[in-house]
Amino acid sequence: MNLSELQEGERAVVEACGSDIPLKLTEMGLMQGQTVEMIKRAPLGDPLVFRLDGTTVAIDRKTAEGIRVRPLNGSRKGAVQRQKSGV
């Protein structure tokens, strides 16, 4: 799944970044193996706010979709909800 699919409060580990993600994001520390936490979706659904290495960063949805993540088990009810709905 990708970064934009995380539920609010859910944490995940970055597995791979698309080759076209902004370099600035890499400079901020978003890279393979890094843990991220989804904090909040903006009221209109975009951008998305993440916690990354002690910093809060807002990223537009499209960019977030280019980042593959593996959710950390039990980090939140979001994962449970997803299992229930069979996604």
Member of 3, 4, 11, 63 binding other proteins (CB under 8 A): 63
Member of 6, 11, 36, 47 binding other proteins (CB under 8 A): 47
Q: Which is nearer to other proteins, 37 or 86 (CB)?
A: 37
Q: Is 28 in the site for other proteins (CB under 8 A)?
A: yes
Q: How many CB atoms lie within 10 A of CB 26?
A: 11
Contact 34, 14 (CB under 8 A): yes
d(CA 50, CA 36) in angstroms, rounded, equals 7
Q: Is 72 in the site for other proteins (CB under 8 A)?
A: no
